[in-house]
Amino acid sequence: MHFLFLFMDGVGLGNPDPTINPFVKASLPNLTSLLNGQSFTAPTAPLVSRRATLHAWDATLGVRGLPQSASGQATLLTGKNVPALIGEHYGPKPNPPIAEILQGETVFTSLGGLGFSTALLGAYPPGYFEVIASGRRMFSAIPMAASNAGVRLMTKDDLFAGRALSAEFTGHGWREYLGLHDTPLLEHHTAGRLLASLAQSYDFSFFEYWLSDYAGHKQEMPQAVEMLESFDRVLGGLLDAWEDEQGLVLITSDHGNLEDLSTRKHTANPVPGLVIGAPDLRARFMAGVEDLSGVTPAIMRMFEPIG
pLDDT tens track for 213-262: 999 999 999 999 999 999 999 999 999 999 999 999 999 999 999 999 99
Between CA 252 and CA 5 the distance in angstroms is: 8
pLDDT digits (tens, 9 = 90+) for 136-179: 888 999 999 999 999 999 999 999 999 999 999 999 999 999 99
| Proportion of the chain above pLDDT 70, given as a percent | 99
Could you tell me the sign of the dihedral formed by the alpha carbons of 39, 41, 44, 48, in that order?
positive
Model pTM above 0.75: yes
- Are residues 58 and 270 in contact, defined by beta-carbon separation less than 8 angstroms? yes
* Cβ pair 93, 138 in contact under 8 A: yes
Q: How far apart are CA 249 and CA 220, in angstroms?
A: 29
The more confidently predicted of residues 131 and 87 is 87
CA–CA separation, 137 and 202 (whole Å): 29
Overall fold of domain 2-302: Alkaline Phosphatase, subunit A (3.40.720)
What local confidence, expressed as pLDDT, does residue 307 receive?
Answer: 60
Angle (deg, nearest 10), helices 295-302 and 279-286:
140
Which strand (E) or helix (H) includes residue 286?
Answer: helix 279-286
